[in-house]
Structure 1
């Protein structure tokens, strides 16, 4: 056995095997309000997880073979406190994963989770939690964002949650890619229907959550592979002969703040067509993977109108915006002589370089380059408004509009964006570039799908040259267009996708489907290849005895995706789309897979916590690698509510209220350009009138509204206020309304501008019973009578008081 350690750009030889990994899931050894992420989690002075960090470790094992992977994710939750707790953890999984199993492990006992309608699963979980039983609930908030809830974790005990999924790997230009996301990036949620569900607590700058991660890939191969590349992580590689390798993270203390991306290339630079079948109780299933033949591309000579769109919101602050500039400047150089073009940036506003596209001249290129170089990153992320502006005004029937869209996708209104592109695309094609180390791949992938274009990802560790070259090849002309598939000889049902996307690069056409009876048949694939009519007929054998049960989950996931695209808004706003959602629910329940409308729930029958009383705590997550704290929370480390969903402590640090992006939603535009109108959700700081903050209701348009619990507050110097005015001002600005309305005993967290024993003594004298404090983080937790909150708020050193 040979052991080798390589860096994030290292190369070695591994191999490829046919897709035999499609194994089965192994055999097992009235809803209340859903708890929201974003509550306080304490971080110790050394940056390690403190007494309220319930996630100890995440372990990932991926069995990869050919085009597929079966991945198992084990989350270990602990309770080092002296009281029962409920843990809430918001985490990512790949956006194309079919999550088909969950288990809860209590000691040596495994409890198998059941798939239920989301509201039924929540009711079962809440009843078990309140009854004092161990219980776990897995909800899907987006195809790539999940919430794990674990109830009644008793003092000193551990609970393991085991999640399993299957996926088909990306293959392009002779190279496979396995991706595992490790963190949910900070979302701009002003337009999101459910901001709290996708906004986990982020640890304070300079500290980490303390939760660790290990990752193992068991890679099988049957032929030599030339290149191996771990893009963002150092890995250890244990070679097991010429045809197998075990890959693990080199660092035992790896911070889970960026995607794990593994790429490997076969020696032949291509793969053979693959046909995999399964026959089970639900009938027959198949997955067909076909590689179009290599053929010289026909260069399109039709004139184009190219619109370059740049995300210049706060999450792009620092290195990401510079990488986006590098990419855009390089792409501008690829314009053809007959092209027209325009450049636009968006944050809370949309800014066009010119009112309309201009010809590709040296003067116009120079003006565009100056516009790009002058862009700054701050403000909110209004992708929807950017997409509308980029697709509007397609008035030239002789020119194809090509939209080049750069973004990290850090938003919560994905459904609205995709619905907008679907309805406004017209003849345009949209090509998306994901810029960053942990971007929202679900949104960026689907923007390209609905835009009838293609997608590319550029990490902050990679040069833009490769992405630019691939873009030139893709936009020269598609490889295969107008693709259709027909079967004969065998009764095929529900072959997916119904509309096969155009193929822009050397990647396969993948078709999944069902068959009723075994037998022999034929598939004919037709289209235009390199501008010429093309067809390919393949003889297929649909056997009576074939075992690859994961095909059922893969087909079901494709079916759910197909149904979702019929109405993107249905799953995001289920209360108004019950009829549209029922088909999705039935598929998910029949095949046991996760959707936004179905959840996994596991309950241990034994009661371990008499009375069911427990404290709910959230697992903090790392800031996504390369994303600026200042860009998200502002120069003074204050928090923008639109980037957090609610006023609870999303940033696990003191001083997490107030402005954003340096004090407002205004954005840095280019050196010249036309300023568009402000988006419907507006921005800027909320004014203070007579010392009392003015609260605002933000409208999303289209009849959708989002109510902020507490709007952003502009702090004033209260030293010159009259005593009664100052007393009211401090109470209003330091204690949220929900807590001011509370009665009786309340559990609170208090953030301080300064914290020492003398300050604690003041608080204790006023009636606060302190259970926990940390002088370095300047935070204390405890209980008090709600009547004394106004007195606690008067202490000079207090910054804010929140309800636990």
Structure 2
């Protein structure tokens, strides 16, 4: 048995050197420039090496890293990755303070910051800066997200362990460092309001025309959810072009030396009057153990699996008659509800909805690669374009392998993805959609999913846009070198961004024009964007850095770097170093060469703890499905050992299996007093005895007791919920949640043809009797048994 779980640990005996994080956000239109400052202090009596693994959005272009020690600022140098590690290690061995920032090779949304040889009592600050494009939501909001949740990534057998598996975890109220965030928004269109999923200080408009505004995060953020800011501009979907001058000291011919233009298209695709009645819709549902977690830490928050199921049912109810569909579930294994895609009828839809309602997060790990391969091996149906929908919390360790599989099959389908819950991997969710010309959405917290679901379905029903071309008209002697590539997919209402490098002598104030043309239902359509070549020189060449990030991402292409040719790897490193934008093949390193008292001996490693969901175990390696008979007698679990955070192996011995409901294991509210008995509504406790062991001594399915001399066993007391005390939904939801639930109930009762059966179930949604409902319906409709 392969298994790897993380337990929430107590860090009371181990000081955490990270004291606080402060973030300054500058948003201009649809681009955010962010500077994050991490404050450290070593309160121990020995030198330490602090390692902080944290999330960033996949599209973030990290362009600066510096450290400040004893009033002196050390600007880091971006080096080839192996050279940066060598520089860092040599500095540590010589007793010098050193700082390292790198992007995880397996997933572009994970970063690691190392602060090495921090002497006792000393403080240090490190700053990292990044820029990123901001998406526009279906309701017109410009969305900025600062990720603070990094969930453990599941790693299938025969793949390298994810760096997230070794991160120590704490409950939200035990995180010992703080977060402060200030955000400044500027828009030439005016700002109507700014909303957030977190508590904010009152918005402050900094000018009379409401063209700029400032908001701040209220104190006490618990790191249990990403920080999301939604800015509503008075006009958002307007095509635009921005031209930025090159840097005079940049390498000649490089991206940074020449002007760069950023084009924002909003293609106006003609409405089709034909009713869609074709298509093969395949839904891939994540039913791994992590989908059992709640969408948020708030009371009565739904589980991820329940939000995913609601999303899927909403899609099922909205499919066109005449199409074909199938639903796959995956975890450590996979299955489908039909042996092959079946015709969409009232009967097949009703059967599918019934089976979806029975689904639970009970299939172990997150092995998405094998079901994808099975889907792609199945031949599609003629005249029914295949559309793949993926629902997952994104806790996948082999991200690049999964994206590469989708990319290899992009010629015969489109892929649409839904990231469920905070911490969903942006590298996976965005990467899958982009690999197969689809769209992506993130559903978090109490966010209304209906607009996002319907927007995605509308995109999937839109006929494919073909023959996309870009035609430039520029002044004589000026040429456009496309950096982002020609768009591969265009959808109504969706922004399409193009970056280009302008080669040649650009005269200030001259005019340029670019036409985005495409074929739609055998008709040619063109969207023309005119712009002035007014070069702006900025201390922060934002457009250049975003363009460099796009170039690096395209060169990587979602594939394993080891499979890339030496020439491509060289191009990645050159683009990264010249632009200052970090890549998986480069890293930032800084060394304090003027250390007054060199550190003697190796520093003690301290991993910074992150928030961990309040569950007994979070599985991140292959694990058998939990059966009604109870948990296995023993599990080999990778976890952080108390007192040092060093990844260890724990063997957890459970009591003999006893009958229990198929419900999540809940930690007792009073772990400090296991004799206090179960709380109201909970059954007698199950006790798991865990002891620390060297990984080399643990074999698959280990069942042996602790060896003599092993550390004292760790006792965890857990209670299984009494089935009678657990209801299907929240017992006391606010009015808006109640309305949301009523809407979903109404949708779930809808027939495949869009009608409703006039019966007591429908009447109960409106909280009235069937007779009263009939009285309120107009006579021509009332005479029919269906609405």
Normalising to structure 2: TM-score of the pair?
A: 0.75
Note if 1:245 corresponds to 2:233. no
CA offsets, 1:142-195, max 9 Å, x none?
A: 321001110111111111110001111112443211111012111102358542
Residue of structure 1 aligned with 2:550, choices 539, 554, 558:
558
- Displacement of 1:278 in angstroms is 1.6
CA offsets, 1:683-720, max 9 Å, x none?
A: xxxxxxxxxx999xxxxxxxxxxx9885555445x5xx
Kept in 2: contact 1:418–1:446 (CA 8 A)? yes
Kept in 2: contact 1:445–1:455 (CA 8 A)? yes
Aligned to 2:757: none
Aligned to 2:136: 171
CA offsets, 1:220-258, max 9 Å, x none?
A: 2333334432135555423334232211112x2211132
Matched residue SS, 1:448: helix
- Displacement of 1:554 in angstroms is 1.2
Q: CA, structure 1 residues 392+425, in 2 after alignment: closer, same or farther (shift >3 Å)?
A: farther
Aligned to 2:344: 360
Kept in 1: contact 2:269–2:491 (CA 8 A)? no
Matched residue SS, 1:261: strand
Aligned to 1:230: 196
Residue of structure 2 aligned with 1:217, choices 183, 186, 207:
183
Kept in 2: contact 1:190–1:643 (CA 8 A)? no
Q: CA, structure 1 residues 59+487, in 2 after alignment: closer, same or farther (shift >3 Å)?
A: same
Aligned to 1:111: 74
Aligned to 1:201: 167
Aligned to 2:321: 337
- Displacement of 1:202 in angstroms is 3.4
Aligned counterparts of 2:130 and 2:75: Cα–Cα separation in 1: 15
Aligned counterparts of 2:519 and 2:634: Cα–Cα separation in 1: 52
- Displacement of 1:314 in angstroms is 0.9
- Displacement of 1:347 in angstroms is 0.1
Q: How does 1:248-327 map to 2 (within 5 A)?
A: 248-250=216-218, 252-281=219-248, 282-293=257-268, 295-299=270-274, 301=276, 303-318=278-293, 319-327=303-311
Aligned to 2:604: 615
Aligned to 1:18: none
Aligned to 1:75: 38
Q: CA, structure 1 residues 654+43, in 2 after alignment: closer, same or farther (shift >3 Å)?
A: farther
Q: How does 1:737-748 map to 2 (within 5 A)?
A: none
Q: CA, structure 1 residues 153+412, in 2 after alignment: closer, same or farther (shift >3 Å)?
A: same
Kept in 2: contact 1:188–1:643 (CA 8 A)? no
Aligned counterparts of 2:185 and 2:285: Cα–Cα separation in 1: 38
Aligned to 1:183: 149
Q: CA, structure 1 residues 648+589, in 2 after alignment: closer, same or farther (shift >3 Å)?
A: farther
Q: How does 1:209-608 map to 2 (within 5 A)?
A: 209-241=175-207, 242-250=210-218, 252-281=219-248, 282-293=257-268, 295-299=270-274, 301=276, 303-318=278-293, 319-378=303-362, 379-477=364-462, 481-489=466-474, 491-517=478-504, 518-519=506-507, 520=510, 521-528=512-519, 532-543=523-534, 546-547=537-538, 549-565=541-557, 568-570=559-561, 573=562, 578-607=566-595, 608=597
Which 10-residue stretch deviates more, 271-280 or 529-538? 529-538
Matched residue SS, 2:610: coil
Q: CA, structure 1 residues 51+80, in 2 after alignment: closer, same or farther (shift >3 Å)?
A: farther
Kept in 1: contact 2:636–2:702 (CA 8 A)? no
Note if 1:149 corresponds to 2:149. no
Aligned counterparts of 2:74 and 2:615: Cα–Cα separation in 1: 41
CA offsets, 1:662-683, max 9 Å, x none?
A: 99xxxx99xxxxxxxxxxxxxx
CA offsets, 1:281-328, max 9 Å, x none?
A: 312222122222375355563511111111000110140111111111
Unaligned runs of 5+ in 1: 1-37, 45-49, 670-692, 696-706, 719-728, 736-748, 755-804
Kept in 2: contact 1:232–1:461 (CA 8 A)? no
Aligned counterparts of 1:694 and 1:219: Cα–Cα separation in 2: 52
Matched residue SS, 1:199: helix
Kept in 2: contact 1:405–1:431 (CA 8 A)? yes
Matched residue SS, 1:280: coil
- Displacement of 1:658 in angstroms is 4.3
Count of paired positions: 643
- Displacement of 1:583 in angstroms is 1.4
Kept in 2: contact 1:189–1:642 (CA 8 A)? no
Normalising to structure 1: TM-score of the pair?
A: 0.73
Q: CA, structure 1 residues 270+452, in 2 after alignment: closer, same or farther (shift >3 Å)?
A: closer
Aligned counterparts of 2:128 and 2:348: Cα–Cα separation in 1: 53
Aligned to 1:767: none
Q: CA, structure 1 residues 651+658, in 2 after alignment: closer, same or farther (shift >3 Å)?
A: farther
Note if 1:58 corresponds to 2:21. yes
Matched residue SS, 1:552: helix
Aligned counterparts of 2:267 and 2:698: Cα–Cα separation in 1: 55
Matched residue SS, 2:498: strand
Alignment RMSD, CA only? 3.6
- Displacement of 1:753 in angstroms is 4.0
Q: CA, structure 1 residues 93+478, in 2 after alignment: closer, same or farther (shift >3 Å)?
A: farther
Kept in 1: contact 2:267–2:492 (CA 8 A)? no
Kept in 2: contact 1:309–1:390 (CA 8 A)? no
- Displacement of 1:425 in angstroms is 3.3
Aligned counterparts of 2:618 and 2:226: Cα–Cα separation in 1: 20
Q: CA, structure 1 residues 563+447, in 2 after alignment: closer, same or farther (shift >3 Å)?
A: same
Aligned counterparts of 2:101 and 2:358: Cα–Cα separation in 1: 45
Aligned counterparts of 2:132 and 2:230: Cα–Cα separation in 1: 16
Kept in 1: contact 2:81–2:587 (CA 8 A)? yes
Kept in 1: contact 2:410–2:436 (CA 8 A)? yes
Matched residue SS, 1:296: coil
Aligned counterparts of 1:410 and 1:525: Cα–Cα separation in 2: 37
Kept in 2: contact 1:297–1:479 (CA 8 A)? no
Q: CA, structure 1 residues 415+477, in 2 after alignment: closer, same or farther (shift >3 Å)?
A: same
Kept in 1: contact 2:197–2:229 (CA 8 A)? yes
Aligned counterparts of 2:598 and 2:469: Cα–Cα separation in 1: 58
Aligned counterparts of 2:341 and 2:18: Cα–Cα separation in 1: 52
Aligned counterparts of 1:260 and 1:753: Cα–Cα separation in 2: 35
- Displacement of 1:464 in angstroms is 2.6
Unaligned runs of 5+ in 2: 1-5, 249-256, 294-302, 621-625, 664-691, 717-787
- Displacement of 1:543 in angstroms is 4.8
